[in-house]
Structure 1
Amino acid sequence: MLIDLSYWEKESFLNYDVIIIGSGIVGLNAAIHLKKSVPSLKIMILERGLFPAGASTKNAGFACFGSISELIVQEETCGPEQLASLIERRWKGLLKLRNLLGDKTIDYQCLGGYELFKQEHHFLADTCVSKIEHYNYLINDIIGSNAFSISNNKIKAFGFESIETLIENRYEAQIDSGKMMFALIQYAQQLGISIFNNFTVDCIEEESNGSRLITKNGNFFCKRLIVTTNAFIKDLYPDIDINPGRGQVLITKPIKDLKIAGTFHYDKGYYYFRNIKNRILLGGGRNLNFKAEETTAFGQTEPVQSALEQLLKEVILPTTKYEIDYRWSGIMAFGKTLEPLIEEIKPNIFCATRCNGMGVAIGAQTGEDVANLLLKSL
């Protein structure tokens, strides 16, 4: 506990109606919805990092709801009706985010999304092509007509080599994740929501009238608590049924006359890339060793980085000179079920986690959902 605290500090800085742990997409949207619903609530967000840690500022900025190969796997898990419900949740979540901040603010660009298939993956490609009509019908009333189509005529235009099949999703878009998160933080602060950075919650002590959060920089009390730290929730509640998943990313230096435009998925979505200001941002490779990437430790591994560089050299930029500028990683959370985990895990303690790699799409809706769950308890 901090020493020599004044009366004013104890009264004004340590006690809240609601504390949210985690200032990512979910946590900020939860705080914003709570404050707009009940302006009198005193709300504070505690964030372990200088910037939002996890994946919110480290993702690729895909405004997507799933490539066909991903949807096939998901449908096998949950069935067509539940999959349609999940896609609707993702689409409405994107609309909510866009309506809250504005397309210009987050640099929303609907340039289309593409799934690539090499010749040796012809069986998967044929399976996905055969499912185009099925998924167009499934999402017609949710998103719009004829979302998916074959676009092999664009393979040469993008400069790809060894790619035989290209499936386009004309409703997929991209955003600037940094601009989005900066705008969300500003929005929350303008509403009067406090955000304290570089505060790691070491433990939570449950009391009769609320929760006390123990940190190395001071202890905070709140009547109600929301934990939105995604995979890092296991540091506080180890029994939560989720697994972390690290996503490794690299980015090139600017490339003159870069032909690639849009968002791209490869190998069942385990690899993904896009053009950002004439750079290639490329991430993925978690499927090379799921166990090794099932970690909350940031960093890179040689096998994944080699696979990314090979894909960059042989498929994405086979005839173009480039230099890799730098690399980073983000931490996602996955579970056996595809829906996010939103529930009251203990009296007046709520959680919103397990975005399953779809945080951009479902973060805003997930934050609002956990806020509404808390509002019912007021």
Structure 2
Amino acid sequence: MTQQPKFQPFWFQQAMDLETDYRNNVPPQSLMADTVADVCIVGGGYTGLWTAIQLKQQQPSLDVMIIEKSLCGSGASGRNGGCMLTWSTKYLSMQRLYGEAQAVELVKASEQAVAEIEAFCLQHNIDAELRRDGTLFTATNAAQTGGLDATLAALDKHELNSWQAWQAQKVQRHAGSELHQTGHFSPVAASVQPGKLARGLKRVAEQFGVRIYENTPMLAIKDNSLNSLSLRNSTKDTKHKVVINTPQGTIYATKAVMALNAWMLEQFPKFKNKIVVVSSDMAITKPIPEKLKKMGLVDGKTVLDSRTFVHYYRSTPDGRLMLGKGGNHFSYANAVRPLFNQPTRYGKLLRQSFDKLFPTLVDEEFAVTWTGPSDRSATGLPFFGKIEETGNIYYGFGYSGSGVGQTWIGGKILASMLLGNNDKWSHNGLTKGPKGSFPPEPIRWLGTMLVRNAIRRKERCEDNATRPFWLDKQLAKFANAAGKADK
């Protein structure tokens, strides 16, 4: 029998139901003996799969394998909102962190990612329900109006501005809600069924010759190149310096990649102050295509408001309406707790937001809710590097809720670093490791709760057109560096 997680989020379950082997209870391949590899990637989500694919595309003879503790795509990759966005709204943050030229290149790369993923899916027959219908970034109260002005002015300077200002009537017509007051539309965005994309990438990776072992957790990892005595005493040749233990077999690899998302800290506590594990909570209706058509939700356009802990929503090809909200639960000590693999505990909050956005749908019950962990970095941007500067274990994480498209960039970066290429992918601002830190516990969690609750009070006042407390406004500024919440 196929081993299954106790709870499978909607997108992932829907994707797995379409796989013949899964329906017929044919177990996935697990590692059952010792093996060697040129590259072993730990983690079968978007980052791991894209990295493997990029490696095989650039060097087909390379022996690449992936191990995944559950099923490929069952983590964050298969349970996000499916909003494929760019980094254009984070241009000013990138300019401050990496300089103007790097910021321009990274925005261009994130826009290229949308087109490249679409082309890849078409070329390899991945039915990921990818619809390149753009995105709407809106203001739902007066305080949110103008929030993009400085960013758009900077993008204009470099002829990078794909955003078009829309007035209230047009925004409301396309967003299916009269709550939106103004907004900007960019055609450089898409929506996708995230579980189907992940499982499609797995299939293609295997076709390229990548060996994938599911239900194969990593128990321990050691880089013997950092210990000359261990290397001399190794029973394997000196080429395979990285040793990875799993329940049924040991892997001897030349290089390894940690593509673990929020689960990274379970093996590498050195990053414990570099990210915050935060929930993104989602709900979806049963199919209601006629109602959505009447509301104007007729394509795959994604809609996001301008809150710090953003609401995001979109319709699906089968006529469902999905609503998500980030920034609800912040995990103490960054533990990936059981609540991240369960129906959301914030259903009431999602219901209130849904009814306010869509008053004509107040009688529509949610078919299912779910939640998932996001690895939020101090900058709101991912980071890449080596665990040890002279070692052979690489990593990439910290996507901060914006990884659907950006993991394609992550795959480019990690593949280039592993192959020793000297190019724009291996040398950019993202490849210098984490920038910024969070305080240690319990200060981090207490401070996070203080800021989160201040933001909630501030935005409640703004919704009601009343003046927020001065202290709440000041506390809310601490969240600005990390950008918008999960999508």
Q: Would you call these one fold, judging by a TM-score over 0.5?
A: yes
Using the TM superposition, give the Cα deviation of residue 41 of structure 1 relative to its aligned residue in structure 2, in angstroms.
2.1
| Alignment of 1:148 onto 2:148 | no
| Alignment of 1:265 onto 2:304 | yes
CA distance change for structure 1 residues 153 and 217 in 2, over 3 Å: closer, same or farther?
same
Cα distance per residue 1:199-231 (max 9 Å; x no partner)? 111211333241221222332221211111122
Match of 1:96 among 116, 130, 133: 116
Q: Secondary structure at the match of 1:373?
A: helix
Q: Secondary structure at the match of 1:254?
A: coil
Structure 2 partner of 1:255 = 288
| Alignment of 1:375 onto 2:397 | no
Residues 344, 370 of structure 2: 8 Å contact kept: no
Structure 2 partner of 1:211 = 242
| Alignment of 1:19 onto 2:35 | no
| Alignment of 1:47 onto 2:68 | yes
Residues 247, 332 of structure 1: 8 Å contact kept: yes
Using the TM superposition, give the Cα deviation of residue 194 of structure 1 relative to its aligned residue in structure 2, in angstroms.
0.9
CA distance in 2: counterparts of 1:214 and 1:132, whole angstroms: 47
Structure 2 partner of 1:175 = 192
CA distance in 2: counterparts of 1:326 and 1:182, whole angstroms: 21
CA distance in 1: counterparts of 2:70 and 2:319, whole angstroms: 29
Using the TM superposition, give the Cα deviation of residue 53 of structure 1 relative to its aligned residue in structure 2, in angstroms.
3.6
Structure 2 partner of 1:57 = 78
| Alignment of 1:279 onto 2:320 | yes
CA RMSD of aligned residues (A): 2.8
Larger RCO (CA within 8 A; separation ≥ 6): 1
| Alignment of 1:125 onto 2:125 | no
Match of 1:231 among 262, 266, 277: 262
Q: Secondary structure at the match of 1:126?
A: coil
Using the TM superposition, give the Cα deviation of residue 183 of structure 1 relative to its aligned residue in structure 2, in angstroms.
1.8
CA distance change for structure 1 residues 343 and 78 in 2, over 3 Å: closer, same or farther?
closer
Residues 276, 375 of structure 2: 8 Å contact kept: yes
CA distance in 2: counterparts of 1:317 and 1:80, whole angstroms: 44
CA distance in 2: counterparts of 1:215 and 1:138, whole angstroms: 52
| Alignment of 1:220 onto 2:240 | no
CA distance change for structure 1 residues 44 and 319 in 2, over 3 Å: closer, same or farther?
closer
**Paired letter, 1:197:** E
TM-score normalised over the length of structure 2: 0.66
Residues 161, 314 of structure 1: 8 Å contact kept: no
Residues 277, 331 of structure 2: 8 Å contact kept: no
Using the TM superposition, give the Cα deviation of residue 112 of structure 1 relative to its aligned residue in structure 2, in angstroms.
2.6
Residues 245, 295 of structure 1: 8 Å contact kept: no
CA distance change for structure 1 residues 321 and 84 in 2, over 3 Å: closer, same or farther?
farther
**Paired letter, 2:164:** F
**Paired letter, 1:337:** T
CA distance in 1: counterparts of 2:169 and 2:379, whole angstroms: 37
CA distance change for structure 1 residues 23 and 187 in 2, over 3 Å: closer, same or farther?
same
Residues 31, 188 of structure 1: 8 Å contact kept: yes
Residues 161, 318 of structure 1: 8 Å contact kept: no
Q: Secondary structure at the match of 1:246?
A: strand
Match of 1:243 among 271, 276, 292: 276
Worse overlay, 240-249 or 293-302: 293-302
Residues 111, 188 of structure 2: 8 Å contact kept: no
CA distance change for structure 1 residues 193 and 77 in 2, over 3 Å: closer, same or farther?
closer
Structure 2 partner of 1:110 = 132
Using the TM superposition, give the Cα deviation of residue 54 of structure 1 relative to its aligned residue in structure 2, in angstroms.
2.7
Structure 2 partner of 1:28 = 49
| Alignment of 1:344 onto 2:391 | no
CA distance in 2: counterparts of 1:77 and 1:317, whole angstroms: 42
Structure 1 stretches lacking a partner, 5+ long: 1-8
CA distance change for structure 1 residues 147 and 22 in 2, over 3 Å: closer, same or farther?
same
Q: How many residues align?
A: 358
TM-score normalised over the length of structure 1: 0.84
**Paired letter, 1:153:** Q
Residues 136, 148 of structure 1: 8 Å contact kept: no
CA distance change for structure 1 residues 122 and 74 in 2, over 3 Å: closer, same or farther?
farther
**Paired letter, 2:259:** T
Residues 132, 149 of structure 1: 8 Å contact kept: no
Structure 2 partner of 1:5 = none
Structure 2 stretches lacking a partner, 5+ long: 1-31, 225-230, 232-237, 422-487
Cα distance per residue 1:317-341 (max 9 Å; x no partner)? 4456312011122222121234422
